[in-house]
């Protein structure tokens, strides 16, 4: 019999810590459904106390879809596991110091990644990650601000363009879908770059009290709904090595898109 799953809110806006999940068992359909609904409800799920090897992290990621996104050859730092993005705070050890700006993982893709799993392998005292609700960020704007963003788009560093105000694919709730890398841009309805709006959004997302700050402990694993939450990395001093493994669900195979819903639960446990 499967252990009873429980969840405890992490903050008022988003996030819940999940207890009772057994990474060593094949999850039943009820467990898979519970986790998927919990992610829709809270946008961010925290699991503590278990450091997963790459194969097991990939297997767990498949709870939320049918295909794990693979990274480009130049970013493959974990031999044999092209699905793992190794993020660290030292050059040459992985992707160093990425994401120090508000963004949703995969926003630079035409078909964005739907779900991310952020799993700390080696934690340090610094290097916290900030997470915030896209819908809450949108809803905090005044009515005139909402009208403005509804006509704008966000252009990533790769040139990919998405609506700035984007409905969640399941709930339909509008959120500010951003990628505020310094090479990205906010584009108005006339096709012009609006630097003031970009800078304003940076301040808006960084308003104290509107985000959840996660201080990592070894083994922490966070599941993120990328259409409901954005995040921002803070600096980690390279004097002590920090390593995080990221996996993402290929957008078209998220469970709500049909293909992901048919994944056999027997495939969800790595050998």
pLDDT, tens only, 112-143: 999 999 999 999 999 999 999 999 999 999 99
Provide the Cα torsion 67, 73, 74, 79; round to 10°: 80
Residues 76-103: pLDDT tens digits?
889 999 999 999 999 989 999 889 999 9
Residue 2 has what pLDDT? 63
pLDDT for residue 7 is more than 70: yes
174 compared with 76, residue with greater pLDDT? 174
271 falls in which pLDDT band (50, 70, 90)? very low
Classify residue 160: in a domain, yes or no.
yes
| Residue spans of alpha helices (H) in 132-177 | 134-139, 143-150
Please report the pLDDT score of residue 108 as a whole number. 93
Residue 1 inside a domain? The answer is no
pLDDT for res 72: 87
The two structure tokens encoding residue 70: 């693979």
Q: 211 pairs with which residues across the strands?
A: 132
Expressed as residue numbers, the domain containing 209 is 7-263
Q: Average pLDDT of 142-168?
A: 95
3-state secondary structure of 232: strand
List Cβ neighbours of 73 (8 Å cut-off, separation of 6 or more). 82
Gap between the terminal Cα atoms of the chain: 20
pLDDT tier at 74 (50, 70, 90 boundaries)? Answer: confident
Residue 80, token pair as written in the block = 């044999």
Q: Could you tell me which of 41, 68, 253, 67 has the C-alpha nearest to residue 168?
A: 41
For residue 268, tell me if it sits in a domain: no
- Return the pLDDT at 18: 98
Rounded average pLDDT over 229-242: 96
Query: Is 130 among the domain residues?
Result: yes
Specify if 2 maps to a domain: no
- Of residues 184 and 267, which shows the higher confidence score? 184
Whole-number pLDDT of residue 270: 44
Tell me whether residue 144 is in a domain.
yes
Determine phi and psi for 150, rounding to 5 degrees: -65, -20
- For residue 161, what are the CA distances in angstroms to 12, 28, 270? 31, 38, 36
Tokens matching residue 18: 């999940």
Distance (Å, whole) CA 114 – CA 101: 19
Burial class (CB in 10 A: 0-12, 13-18, 19+), 29: exposed
Number of domains within the chain: 1
Residue 15 φ then ψ, to 5°: 95, 140
Return the closest-CA partner of residue 162 out of 148, 173, 176.
Answer: 176
Distance, in Å, from the CA atom of 178 to the CA atom of 156, rounded to the nearest integer, reads 9
- CA–CA separation, 251 and 66 (whole Å): 9
What CATH number did the domain enclosing 98 receive?
3.60.130.10
Cα(97)–Cα(224) distance, integer angstroms: 19
Which band of pLDDT confidence, cut at 50, 70 and 90, is reported for residue 265? very low
Residue 269 lies in a domain: no
Whole-number pLDDT of residue 266 = 47
Q: According to the model, what pLDDT value does residue 161 have?
A: 96
Token pair belonging to 131: 């997470």
User: Is 114 a member of any domain?
Assistant: yes
Burial state string for 197-233 with b = 16 or more CB within 10 A and e = fewer than 16? bbeebeebbeeeebbbebebeeebbbbbbbbbbbbbb
């Amino acid at each position: 019999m499967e252990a009873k799953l429980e969840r405890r809110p992490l903050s008022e806006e988003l996030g819940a810590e999940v207890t009772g999940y057994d990474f060593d068992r094949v999850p039943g359909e009820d467990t898979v459904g519970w986790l998927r609904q919990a992610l829709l409800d809270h946008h961010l799920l925290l699991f503590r106390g278990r450091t997963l090897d790459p194969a097991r992290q990939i297997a767990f990621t498949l709870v939320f879809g049918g295909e794990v996104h693979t990274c480009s050859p130049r970013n493959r730092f974990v031999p044999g596991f092209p699905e793992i993005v190794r993020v660290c705070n030292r050059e040459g050890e992985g992707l160093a110091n990425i994401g120090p700006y508000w963004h949703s993982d995969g926003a630079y893709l035409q078909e964005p990644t739907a779900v991310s799993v952020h799993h700390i392998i080696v934690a340090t005292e610094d290097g916290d990650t900030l997470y915030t609700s896209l819908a809450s960020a949108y809803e905090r704007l005044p009515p005139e601000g909402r009208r403005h963003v509804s006509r704008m788009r966000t252009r990533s560093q790769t040139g990919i363009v998405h609506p700035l105000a984007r409905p969640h694919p399941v709930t339909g709730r509008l959120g500010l879908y951003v990628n505020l890398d310094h090479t990205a841009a906010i584009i108005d309805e006339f096709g012009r770059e609006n630097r003031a709006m970009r800078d304003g959004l940076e301040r808006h997302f960084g308003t104290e009290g509107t985000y959840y700050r996660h201080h990592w402990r070894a083994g922490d694993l966070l599941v993120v709904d990328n259409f409901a939450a954005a995040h921002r990395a803070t600096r980690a001093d390279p004097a002590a090595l920090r390593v995080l493994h990221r996996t993402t669900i290929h957008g078209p195979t998220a469970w709500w898109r049909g293909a992901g819903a048919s994944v056999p639960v027997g495939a969800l446990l790595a050998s």
